[in-house]
Amino acid sequence: MRTLSLVRSVSLAAMLLLLQAASGRAQGCVPPLGCPSPANSTVPRIIALMGHDGSGNTDPHGEFQVVFRDLANNPMPNAVIRVELTVFDVVLCADQQAELTGHGPSYVEGLTNQAGVFTVRLRGAGAGVAQQIPSGPRGGKIFGNGQLLATVEVVAYDLDGTGGVGANDLSLWLEDFGLGQDFLREDYDGNGNMGANDLSFWLTLFGDGASAASCSP
Ligand SMILES: [Ca+2]
Ligand SMILES: [Ca+2]
């Protein structure tokens, strides 16, 4: 009996050591230095997917930054920031900006600079029927070195993914607005509902013409 008890104790200790080792590898840091802190990091409230102009420049209206900091509030340079879509009513395009270190149909990845800042404009569009609603799924997640930093709305102005931001997208916005449900992919000011201010955002972006062309799916 005593031998069995000893075996159990040794096994338990071995498991605890393995768990601690696995935990240490996952974090890859010695607190607080180098350990990602969602609370100390700065993320956008919403992400807006963009088209581009006739010269191929991604619409600057969509530019956003992630400032990635550790538990001691130090910026984390050369860290991997990942933006991942978790819905089907918005899509990322294949032709993203060259500075990204990787991207696919549902994610992009890039590195923070020496100040811990990741700056990006994402190309994308709406797809199919609206899915993001206030009580339902948000459009995407932002990670820093694998740590979830935030869940965010992902909006699109080019709702049909063709012909840039144009008249048909306005029709789609008005159709969805008429359904009486607040669809978050069309909530451009990020206040959680669809209203006149979102229409104003759309008209301003349309008027500037910097998303006159759709990106390549
Ligand atoms: Ca369009
Ligand atoms: Ca709104």
pLDDT digits (tens, 9 = 90+) for 157-212: 999 999 999 999 999 999 999 999 999 999 999 999 999 999 999 999 999 999 99
Please state the pTM of the whole predicted model: 0.85
Ligand nearest to the CA of 153: 2
Burial status of residue 7 (CB atoms within 10 A of its CB: 0-12, 13-18, 19 or more) = exposed
Ligand nearest to the CA of 213: 1
Ligand nearest to the CA of 177: 2
Question: Ligand 1 centroid vs 51 CA: distance in angstroms?
Answer: 9
Give CA–CA dist 141/16, Å, rounded.
Answer: 31
Please report which confidence band the pLDDT of residue 29 belongs to, taking 50, 70 and 90 as the band edges: confident
Give CA–CA dist 76/93, Å, rounded.
Answer: 28
Does the bond joining 32 to the residue before it have cis omega, within 30 degrees of 0?
yes
Question: Ligand 1 centroid vs 31 CA: distance in angstroms?
Answer: 48
**Of 120, 124, 123, 117, which is closest to residue 144 (Cα–Cα)?**
117
Question: Ligand 1 centroid vs 165 CA: distance in angstroms?
Answer: 4
Give CA–CA dist 147/207, Å, rounded.
Answer: 38
pLDDT digits (tens, 9 = 90+) for 115-174: 999 999 999 999 999 999 999 889 999 999 999 999 999 999 999 999 999 999 999 999
pLDDT digits (tens, 9 = 90+) for 90-99: 999 999 989 9
